[in-house]
Amino acid sequence: MKTEVLSWDLENELALKKGAQIIRDGGLVGIPTETVYGLGACAYNAGACLEIFKAKGRPADNPLIVHILNPEDAEKIAITSKLYYRLAERFMPGPLTIIMPKRDIIPNEVTAGLDSVAVRCPVHKVARRIIELSGVPIAAPSANKSGMPSPTTAQHVYNDMNGEIPLIIDAGACEVGVESTVIKITEDEIILLRPGAITVEMLREICPRVSVSSAVLQELRAGEVALSPGMKYKHYSPKASLYLVSDSEDFIALARDRAQREKCAIMCYDEETDALDGLMLLPVGRREDIKEQTRRLFDLLRQADELGAQTIYAHLPTMQDEALALYNRMIRASAHKIIGGTNG
Ligand code: AMP
Ligand code: MG
């Protein structure tokens, strides 16, 4: 199959109409969202959704997120609640996914046999227009090969999905850069399953009882059941081995030392580029700029592989506030390889 990459254009909606038609016909489309690029199919079409698993090489027990245009569209696919609407009012459309009991219209293939469905209402205008033109909810995981860093540009999607899908819609780099915040809700409690741009602190403004699933911060223990199946898989991993360096270490000295012995890429702060001159540098943004570091993360991991790095050294982020999403993706990409203590 030839994979076409078309630029979005809201005035001349050629690419979007084509994409919507493919989705209605049971095909797959690479779609830009504010978080990462998604691999979308009609959420009512079990066969099309199975093709997503095939194209990604995704384990069959890892469910997909269903994307809707407006919060009230969740009524068709899920059993909503007051808390859902309070969260929706504040955070939708936006990078928040809410897991609720599913209705029968959503095939078991989408939810990997679970009796719950993950619902998200994206804010990206291209994603929204495709959902609108398709006239159906769109099931979409990240558009990378399973295990690889998620795609934040159309080129990343093309590199992973060339020959597997008919169309990728290009709308430039994603604004957030990591996947949505995923929460499970009961009447009066929120459980955070995956951190993202909607932070624990923001969620607490709507509902004070927010707990963080242990898999967000740690490795699952042997035999432990993940609340979110995706958390048990190797994730976001470049081919190079990623090591996270705690603030207790001298990053500059360590990077210089390792560079003498290994072909390593150094993910340094912008402020450190002078001190590390001559090494294979992948600047992540300024030290305080967590949003920029988050936005660049997956692209830099992919770049390290393209440069042929055997190892990557990066700063270990804190777990505070908006840095939690970055921390979670980085510890998983590194398979928990940390040099020095964890940063509080
Ligand atoms: P991705 O779309 O690739 O970002 O992955 C979707 C994430 O949402 C994975 O970690 C899934 O395990 C999780 N997810 C989707 N649906 C459910 C559900 N019904 N229950 C728990 N987790 C879910
Ligand atoms: Mg994914």
- Could you tell me if the CB of 229 is within 6 A of ligand 1? yes
271 CA distance to ligand 2 middle (Å) = 31
Return residue ranges of the chain for CATH 3.40.50.11030.
Answer: 241-339
Which mutation among 228, 231, 232 tests ligand 1's pocket best, with the greatest number of atoms within 8 A of CB? 228
Return residue ranges of the chain for CATH 3.90.870.10.
Answer: 4-216
Measured CA to CA, the distance from residue 116 to residue 183 in angstroms comes to: 12
Q: 197, 95 in Cβ contact below 8 A?
A: yes
Q: 170, 127 in Cβ contact below 8 A?
A: no
Superfamily of domain 241-339: Threonylcarbamoyl-AMP synthase, C-terminal domain (3.40.50.11030)
Identify the three-state secondary structure at position 75: helix
Q: What does the angle CA 48 – CA 51 – CA 55 come to, to the nearest 5 degrees? A: 145
Q: Which ligand 1 atom sits nearest the alpha carbon of residue 111?
A: 19
274 CA distance to ligand 2 middle (Å) = 35
Q: Sheet containing 167-170: give its strands across.
A: 4-7, 167-170, 29-31, 38-42, 138-139, 65-67, 116-120, 96-101, 181-185, 190-194, 210-212
Measured CA to CA, the distance from residue 89 to residue 92 in angstroms comes to: 6
179 CA distance to ligand 2 middle (Å) = 7
* pTM score of the predicted model: 0.96
Measured CA to CA, the distance from residue 192 to residue 214 in angstroms comes to: 9
Taking the domain 4-216, which CATH number applies? Answer: 3.90.870.10
Mind listing the pLDDT tens digit of every residue in the chain (344 residues)?
Answer: 999 999 998 788 999 999 999 999 999 999 999 999 999 999 999 999 999 999 999 999 999 999 999 999 999 999 999 999 999 999 999 999 999 999 999 999 999 999 999 999 999 999 999 999 999 999 999 999 999 999 999 999 999 999 999 999 999 999 999 999 999 999 899 999 999 999 999 999 999 999 999 889 877 666 666 777 777 666 778 899 999 999 999 999 999 999 999 999 999 999 999 999 999 999 999 999 999 999 999 999 999 999 999 999 999 999 999 999 999 999 999 999 999 977 65
